Every structure is written in C-alpha cells, then in structure tokens.
Chains A and B, each alone.
Chain A
Amino acid sequence: MGDGVIGRYLVRRILLMVPVVFLVTVMVFLMLHLIPGDPARVALGEEATPQAVAALRAQMGLNLPLPAQYLHWVGQVLQGNFGRSLLDGTSVLKDLLQALPVTFELTVLALLTALLLGVPVGIIAARLRGTLADWVATTLALIALSIPAFWLGILFILYFAVRLHLFPSEGYAPITKGLGANLDLMILPAVSLGLRSAAVIARMLRGSLLEVLGADFVRTARAKGVSERRALWRHALRNALLPVVTVGALEFAGLLGGVVITEEIFGIPGMGQLLVNAIFQRDFPTVQGEVLFIALIVLIVNLLTDLSYSLLDPRIQVAGD
C-alpha cells in the first residue's frame, strides 16, 4: 500500500467530515433555542431587570435573525472563541482547556483498565470455551455491563475508601503533586468507569476469537502441526484484536459521557464537573461550548481510529468503499 493511497484516503476522509462538523455545529447552536422562552431571561432568572435581560440578549447576539446568529456564533468558534461564561466572563475555551487534562487522564486510565481486564478475560474465556472459567467470565462481564458506573463508584467509595481505608474517598491531586498522590485519587474512579468497557471488550474479543479460531487459515495452521497455543497467539489473536481497536474507540466516546457522573461522585474537577455546574447555573455558553468541544474530540478520535484500522489491516480497501 503506497503512501499516495493513504494520502488520498486521508483527504477523502477529512472532506467527508466537513458536512458532519457543520451539522454538529448547527445542532449545538440550536440547543440554545430548545429553552422554553427567552434564553437570556432564563439565564438571569425571574428577578432580573429588563435592562439586564436586554444587555445579555445583545451580548449573546439573540436580537439577530437565527441564521445570522448562527453565522456569528460559528464564526467565533472558528476563531477559537467558544464564548464567555455567563457567570464570571472567563473564556469558555480556557475553562475547557483547564479541565481537559484531568478528564483526559481519567478517560485514558479507564480505557487502560478496560484493556488490561477485558483483553485477558476475553482470551481466557475463548480459550476455555464451555468450561466453568468461561461461564464465570461471561457472567461477570454481563454483570459489569449492567451496573451503572456511578453506582459502582459509590460502592467502591463505601468499601475501599470508607471500610478498608485503601484509598481516599474523593478529591483530586494534579500529577505535578506527585504520581502517587494523583493515582491514589484516580484509581477508584478510573476502575469504576472502565469496568463496563472491560466487559464490552471481553465479550467482543471472546466472540471474534471463537470465530477466527474456527476459520480456515487457523485450521490449516493446526493441520500443519501448529500447537493450539501457537494457533491462538500467533494466528488467531492478531486477527481478533483488530475489532478491539474499533470497540476501544467507540468506548472512548461512551467514557466521555460516563465521566460526567463519575467526576461528580469523586469530586474530580474535570470537564464533567464543569458541564454539570454550568447546567445548574444556567451558564448556557459554557454548556454549548463544552458539548461542541466533546463532539469534535469524538470526531477526531473516530478519524484516527479509521486511519489506524486501515493501516493495521491491509485487507481493508482504503481507496474507495
């Protein structure tokens, strides 16, 4: 596969993103107009003076016709201006960039948990198909899939923090204060958040391994005298791990959603907490800015996943579908 093909694919894939990004901005823009009544009035509360409401309407550009409002807003966003918080006038983007590393760390740790638990469990379940170990793994995965992550977080606090005193129950320490202090506070939230994704990955991997282990090329390898272990590790796993990349990326988007409540439970000052606070303080520009920001992150992650997938699996025709 030449570089030219990849290059063309990249261009095509990015061009396809343009209308999607446009629609995402339209959707986020229109969200403000879901508010029953005047957003400025709702933001300021019933007691606000008409002058204050009028001033805020002007500041939010609400007096313009809808398409002009959109163009104004999206023009600002394109210049990297996600608006200003209605509470303290700080730049929404600045708040977001401040919260991003915290959420990013939590999400990555959760994804790491998911991979470290999900991949071995999936392999074991497939290798020992039909045995008690498979049954236990499958059942545990089903339960992990069904527990609300935030409730699991609360149970973790009750057991590991309150009863066993193994970890602090809530709070946050930046990595600059030392990795130990940071991880101490991050482990419970990350594991409670990542367990569900671990279950998804384990189930997926078990299924795809069983499928690949039954495929002709693995049967051929066995027939040529390759040991069962080698058939699994060298032949089956390489192919079965490919879908895990996709699932991992999909889970990343899901984790960005789940992180909201997990941060709330553990008192972590990330993007989730920022969003929840903004919602309850009716700070609409911050809510809009953050929702847009998250959607853009998801789109970029999806793009990178598609690219890595086409690099990992030469069978995938990148030039056209």
Chain B
Amino acid sequence: MSAQPADEGFGQGGPAGSRSLLALAGRRFLRNGLGMTGAVIVLILILLAVLGPSLAPYNPLTQNYHLITKPPMPGHPLGTDDLGRDELSRMLYGARLSFGVSVLSVGLAAIVGMPIGMLSGYYRGWVDDIFVMRITDALLAFPGLILALAIAAFLGASFTHETIAIGIGFVPGFIRLARGQVLSEREREYVASAQSVGSGTRRILLRHILPNTMTPMLIQATLAMSGALLADAGLSYLGLGVPPPTPSWGTMINTGMGYLMQAPWLVYWPGLAITVAVLGWNLLGDGIRDALDVRLRQ
C-alpha cells in the first residue's frame, strides 16, 4: 500500500472531515477483493430474501408422493425432500426466513442497546456503573446460544420469539460499544463547543455524538449478522425456531439428518447456504473494518 500522510482522513468530527474519511474508506473498500465479495454475497442474500418466493418454481409446502427424496434432476435442480417437496423452492423461502430473523434480531439489539449505552456513557454515575455495566456483565455470563435456547424454550417456538431470543444475546455488545464510544467522544472538543453554544443533551447525543459512533456500530452490526445467522441455524435445527412446515435452513438440515444415507443432499444444500451467507457477512464486516482501520495503512 502506498505511503499516505499520517493524518489523512482524520476529521475532527466536523462534516467536511467525516465526508473525506468516508470517501477514502469507500475507495479503499472498493479495492478490497474479499470485502467486495462479501458485499456481493450479502446483496444476493438481500435479493433472495425479497424475491426468493417469486423465483421459487414450486410451492415449498406442496407434497408429491411420487417424488420422495429424489436426487437433483431436471425440474428439481436440488432434489426433493422426504415429503416430495421441491428442495430449491424450500431453500428460497428459507432465505427470507433466515434473513428476516437475523436482520430483525440484530436490529432489535441495536435499537435497545445503543440508546442505553449512549445515555449510560454520557451521564455515567451510579446508574451506569451499577445497573448498566453489571447487567451487561450478567448477560455476558450466558453463552449466546444457551441464552437464546433458554429464552426460546420458555417463550415457545415462533418467529417473534426466536428473534427476541437471538436479539437479547447481542444487546450487551451494543450497550458496551455505544457506551465506550460516547465515553471517548464526550471528551472531545466538538462536544465542548456544542455545549458552549447551549446545545441540549438530546441534540448533542443525536446530532453530534451519534454520527461519530455510527461506523463502529455498523461493523458490530455486520459481524453480529453472521452470529445471528448461526444462532438461527442452531435454534431451528433443534426445533426452537419457526415451527414446521415453514421452511427454514436449520429445520431442513434437521429433516435431512433422518435421511443421511439415502439423501445426503438434504443436509448439503441448507448447510452450504448458511455457510455462504455467514461468510458473506463476515467478509463484509472485515472489509468495512479494514477500510476504516487507520492502523492498517501504516
């Protein structure tokens, strides 16, 4: 990488500074092959989640008893499952479900975690110390999947419950990140100058500090997406996700386990789809982080 002036891209939080930083990061991202691959995979995932059901050649629930566990063949390019349902159509519907659960759970975690973290970091004091930090410590004591399993188990299996169960595990991450960002941002000069011209707390947090903390949040959210996809796969494999017959990639693997010898493709396709989807979000997250990471330019 060519040598660049050390202070390039370091905006002081002002509009001009952040715009040039973003432009620089954007250019760097476009040159990053792995990051771009991730972006393309994620774009395809979004398209499949939106268009998947209209692309599906069959109704994913229609059973065909003449075509039970058939290998890939013309008309059914991914084969058929134990009830003669078209695997490709089920995969396409499953894409919408997995995408929906992961986006909504990460979104939920961000919407709950960010304001708590920001307020806690801004005001500090005993509420921050005792409530927010200890509660996040306590939440972090539960391995993510265990927490999601337990919550889904007690609430009962459904789309909403699964989304909540997965989302809660990501809340402490967002709280901590937002809090840490605000703790460092609030000491900076632009906050002092906003305070000196009489800006209220809400304005300072929303108009000044929030835009400056969005980048780490974006990276966090991207990487959380891959975690959410994996959690969704695990929960629905165990039968704690969206109940059948709704096609979900994890549930499809579970079905395939019963036909491992006769029809291994029932396990291959959905697992491959999960892997590629998770890989896409990981690559995208890495790419964004690398594009914005100042240290890497040295």
Q: Which residues of A contact B (CB under 8 A)?
A: 19-20, 23-24, 27, 31-32, 34-36, 142-143, 145-148, 150-151, 154-155, 157-158, 162, 211, 214, 253-258, 260-261, 264-265, 275-276, 279-280, 284, 287, 291, 294-296, 298-299, 302
Task: Choose, from B79-87, B103-111, B277-285, the stretch at the interface.
Answer: B277-285
Contact call B156/A36, Cβ cutoff below 8 A: yes
CB-based contact B143/A254 at 8 Å? yes
Q: Is B141 an interface residue (CB 8 A)?
A: yes
Which residues of A are found within 8 Å of B151, using beta-carbon distances? 31, 34
Closest 9 CB pairs of A and B: A257-B143, A257-B145, A23-B138, A151-B271, A146-B279, A146-B278, A34-B154, A279-B153, A295-B141
B residues in contact (CB < 8 Å) with A: 34, 130, 134-135, 137-139, 141-147, 149-151, 153-156, 226, 230, 233-234, 237-240, 253, 257, 260-261, 264, 267, 271, 274-276, 278-279, 282-283, 286, 295, 298
Q: Give me 10 other A-B pairs in contact (C-beta within 8 A), A151-B233, A295-B141 excluded.
A: A20-B141, A31-B151, A32-B154, A148-B234, A148-B271, A151-B274, A260-B146, A265-B257, A291-B150, A302-B141
Residues of B contacting A275 with CB < 8 Å? 146, 149
CB-CB under 8 A from A147, the residues of chain B are 271, 275, 278
Query: Are A20 and B138 also in contact (CB < 8 A) when A142-B279, A143-B279, A146-B226 are?
Result: yes
Within the assembled complex, what's the spacing in Å between the Cα atoms of A23 and B138?
Answer: 6
A36 to B144, CA, bound (A): 23
- Among B134, B141, B226, the residue within 8 A (CB) of A298 is B141
Q: Can you identify 6 A-B contacts, CB atoms within 8 angstroms?
A: A20-B138, A36-B155, A142-B283, A146-B279, A151-B275, A211-B295
A151 and B130 contact, CB distance less than 8 A: no
Contacts of A256 in B (CB 8 A): 143, 146
In this complex, what residue of B is CB-closest to A20?
B137
Contact residue among B137, B142, B233, B264 (Cβ-Cβ distance under 8 Å from A294): B142
The CA of A150 and the CA of B250, in the complex, are separated in Å by 10
Chain A residues with CB below 8 A from B267, complex form: 151, 154-155, 158
Q: Which residues of A contact B237 (CB under 8 A)?
A: 150, 261
